[in-house]
Amino acid sequence: MRSIRWLAGSITLVCALVFIFGVLKAEMATKLMLYLLICFFLSLYRILKGPTAADRSVATDILGILVIGFCAILAVYTGKGWYIDIAIAWALQSFIGTLALAKFLEGRHFDE
Amino acid sequence: MNETASLVFILVGISFDLFGCIGLIRLPDVYNRLQASTKCVTLGTCGILFGVFLRLGFSAGGVKALICIVFVLLTAPVAAHALAKGAHKYGVKLWERSVCDKYTEDKK
Amino acid sequence: MRYIRSRAITFTVSILLWLLLSFSLDWQHLLVGAFAALLVAWMMGDMFAGQPGKWLSPRRYGWFAFYMFVFAWECFKANIDVAYRVLSPRLPINPGIVKVKTTLKTETALTFLANFITLTPGTFSVDIEKESGYIYIHWIDVKTQNIEEASRIIVSKSERILKEVFE
């Protein structure tokens, strides 16, 4: 069962990569963003599915770090330098947000 | 030349991001997911930012990318540490085929 | 005296960060930056640089550069390790939480040790007990449950460097 799932997942992934980098006629920036978008969808799946609140918090943290890379790619390929400022501000804000989520998870223990 | 090097760094970075997110899907419990995804996504994002630095050089944008690398390297492990501690206090169990759990034994 | 020196170090670091972020030597930028850095130094006090004497010895900076080099190499190895575990079809993991003992004392050194553990192959710090020096570590591939053995495998390598840098 597990090997069948592994096979299906890897075939889907390879097909997506071949479509993005081989078939699609677009600029390099679009291809890179689509490649990063696969990561976004995987972590969004974990947010939707996650059995406990801790799983959802982890996926939110990872999504926050991915956005920094997305802003950096945008800064290069649009030529607008202020996207990097957004990336720095986003890094600090998502760190504080994750700390708040962690404190929330710790506090839930007491009111059971 | 510089553009090719930066493109290689960005592609390797996004590939590590992808491995981290696959780990987020495949691994069985919160701690394993946190472990795999934090490592891979931190280094992947640092790779993307380093590619951006190679492309922009020592200008205002490039130096900001370097500062952003330092911020990500300092904040991502601390956030992951806080989340792991919070998840354990929240009561998330380890995977049932885990070997040992010294933390729960000591806290009782 | 120690009061003024730790504030002076905070002021220097924050104005350097401001210069890198604004990236211009215009006198208006410098004026606003100096004002903001003064405010930060006055508000932080000696939270940032507790023992200012340590910031002035060049030997520590050399060891810190060596630490960064080791850290980058271990980080790269960790990513290859995670990629292998995640992509292999049989999912070769053997997880568990073990306990190790460290001899580091200062808070900065413990923070950097926890960061090092989190970004190196297979290990991830869950909790630190500062008084007794125990660290609880989630290990994705448990080789031993003995405290001394695990300490020797996981922390001893980085502990030696961090002791030179921060203590």
**Domain shared by C121 and C43, yes or no:** no
The pLDDT value given to residue B2: 84
Mean confidence (pLDDT) of chain A: 88
CA of A73 vs chain B CAs: smallest distance (Å): 7
Mean pLDDT value across residues C99-105:
85
User: Which of C15, C38, C54 lies at the terminal end of a domain, its last residue?
Assistant: C54
List subunits contacting chain C, requiring 3 or more Cβ pairs under 8 Å: A, B
Classify the C-alpha dihedral B21-B27-B32-B36 as positive or negative: negative
Q: CA C116, CA B42: separation in Å to the nearest integer?
A: 13
**Domain shared by C90 and C146, yes or no:** yes
CA of B87 vs chain A CAs: smallest distance (Å): 6
Cross-strand pairs, C137 = C98, C125
Interface contact C114-B77, CB threshold 8 A:
yes
Say if residue A64's pLDDT is above 80: yes
**Domain shared by C80 and C138, yes or no:** yes
What stretches of C23-155 show up as alpha helix (H) in DSSP? 27-44, 58-87, 107-118, 147-154
The pLDDT value given to residue B50: 93
**pLDDT tens digits for range C133-142:** 888 888 888 8
**Domain shared by C40 and C122, yes or no:** no
**Domain shared by C47 and C63, yes or no:** no
C86 touches chain A (CB under 8 A): no
Say if residue A110's pLDDT is above 60: no
For residues B26 and B59, the answer to whether their CB atoms sit within 8 Å is no
The pLDDT value given to residue A112: 43
CA of A105 vs chain C CAs: smallest distance (Å): 14
Task: Identify the weakest region by mean pLDDT among A88-92, B15-19, C124-128.
Answer: C124-128
- Strand ordering across the sheet containing C134-139: C96-101, C134-139, C123-129
Say if residue A90's pLDDT is above 90: yes
DSSP string, chain A: -HHHHHHHHHHHHHHHHHIIIII----HHHHHHHHHHHHHHHHHHHHHH-SSHHHHHHHHHHHHHHHHHHHHHHHHHH--THHHHHHHHHHHHHHHHHHHHHHHHHHTTTT-
Other residues' Cβ atoms within 10 Å of the Cβ of residue A15: 11
Structural domain of residue C98, as residue ranges?
Answer: 59-166
CB-CB neighbors (< 8 A) of B73 in chain C: 115, 119
Q: How many CA atoms does the CB half-sphere of A77 hold within 13 Å?
A: 18
Interface contact B36-C82, CB threshold 8 A:
yes
**pLDDT tens digits for range C53-83:** 777 788 888 888 999 999 999 999 999 988 9
By C-alpha distance, the chain B residue nearest C143 is B99
**Domain shared by C124 and C63, yes or no:** yes
**Domain shared by C92 and C45, yes or no:** no
The pLDDT value given to residue B15: 93
CB-CB neighbors (< 8 A) of A53 in chain B: 90
User: Which of C54, C76, C96 lies at the terminal end of a domain, its last residue?
Assistant: C54
The pLDDT value given to residue C51: 75
**Domain shared by C34 and C106, yes or no:** no
Supply A29's token pair.
Answer: 């920036």
Mean pLDDT value across residues C26-51:
86
For residues C167 and C104, the answer to whether their CB atoms sit within 8 Å is yes
CB-CB neighbors (< 8 A) of C82 in chain B: 19-20, 23, 35-36, 39-40
Domain count, chain C: 2
Say if residue A95's pLDDT is above 90: yes
Q: CA A69, CA A19: separation in Å to the nearest integer?
A: 22
Mean confidence (pLDDT) of chain C: 86
Most confident of C16-30, C51-65, C142-156: C16-30
**Domain shared by C154 and C109, yes or no:** yes
For residues B44 and B13, the answer to whether their CB atoms sit within 8 Å is yes
| Residue B82 identity (one-letter amino acid) | A
Q: CA C165, CA C55: separation in Å to the nearest integer?
A: 10
For residues B36 and C86, the answer to whether their CB atoms sit within 8 Å is yes
C91 touches chain A (CB under 8 A): yes
Provide the total of helices (H) and of strands (E) in chain C, helices listed first. 6, 3
Interface probe, candidates C93, C123, C141, C158, chain B, greatest B C-beta count within 10 A: C93
CA of C21 vs chain A CAs: smallest distance (Å): 9
Say if residue A111's pLDDT is above 60: no
Q: Which of residues 46-65 of A touch B (CB under 8 A)?
A: 46, 52-55, 57-59, 61-62, 65
Which stretches in chain B have pLDDT values below 50? Answer: none
The pLDDT value given to residue A108: 59
Q: Which of C79, C114, C124 sits opposite B40 (nearest CB)?
A: C79
Say if residue C154's pLDDT is above 90: no
